[in-house]
Amino acid sequence: APIVGVLALQGDFREHIAVLRSLGADARPIRRPEELAEVAGLVIPGGESSVMDKLSRTFGLAQPLKDAIRSGLPVYGTCAGLIMLADRLLDGINGQQTLGGLDIAVRRNAFGSQLDSFETDLEIPVLGDPPLHAVFIRAPVVEEAGASVVPLATLADGRVVAVEQGNLLGTSFHPEMTGDTRFHEHFLRMIAAA
Ligand code: GLN
């Protein structure tokens, strides 16, 4: 099985590793550039993107991650991970940077304190039936997307919460928390096809 890395600087990386292993992938936590160099795909988990940004630079991973993304490594970002993959961040704090790669603008904590966390069922054509039960936790939304970005899921109000663009996949929500493994299976297919 190909090695699938999960960025393990911060956030819910253990949950992603457990899901990927349940699907037969050789999933490993990634904290160093030498470890990143060995993977066939990478998940960037949920957590706090401003902290993940700082730690990625402290650990010397920011530039290797950008290089890997640009060279076509399949990368799947959930929630904070989606923010890390966005080319444009509409409301970063304290000089927060992203890795970029997805031609999108994201807004962090887009649902505000009234609706910090919520769950809903999403129709996701690329995954088929049944609808996916999605958990949102202080989640970002995609506010703008370039022509090469494919929206995979939208909320009832039309806001985009899952996207794919070439080697990159991103969701505002957390499929690693619900037991529905279809997004991880979709990502493993992207790795196999790369
Ligand atoms: N609000 C967090 C951020 O800005 C993301 C939350 C999450 O990953 N569940 O990074």
| pLDDT number for residue 92 | 82
Residue 7 has pLDDT above 70, yes or no: yes
Residue 114 has pLDDT above 70, yes or no: no
Query: Quick check: is 133 catalytic?
Result: no
By residue range, what is the domain housing residue 45? 3-193
Which H or E run contains 182? helix 182-193
Cβ of 49 below 6 Å from ligand 1: yes
CA–CA dist 1, 96 (Å, integer): 35
**φ, ψ dihedrals at 143, nearest 5°:** -95, -30
- Choosing from 16, 34, 133, 176, the catalytic residue is 176
Query: Quick check: is 79 catalytic?
Result: yes
Q: What is the DSSP string of 114-172?
A: GGSEEEEEE--TTT-SSPEEEEEES--EEEEE-TTPEEEEE-TTS-EEEEEETTEEEES
Q: Does the annotation place 138 within a ligand binding site? A: yes
- Total domains, the chain: 1
Query: Quick check: is 176 catalytic?
Result: yes
CATH of residue 50's domain is: 3.40.50.880
**Partners of 89 in the beta sheet?**
106
Residue 156 has pLDDT above 90, yes or no: yes
Q: What is the pLDDT of residues 45-88, one digit of tens each?
A: 999 999 999 999 999 999 999 999 999 999 999 999 999 999 99
24 CA to centre of ligand 1 in angstroms: 28
Q: What is the predicted ipTM? A: 0.95
Place of tokens 């070439």: 166
Nearest atom in ligand 1 to 11's CA: 8
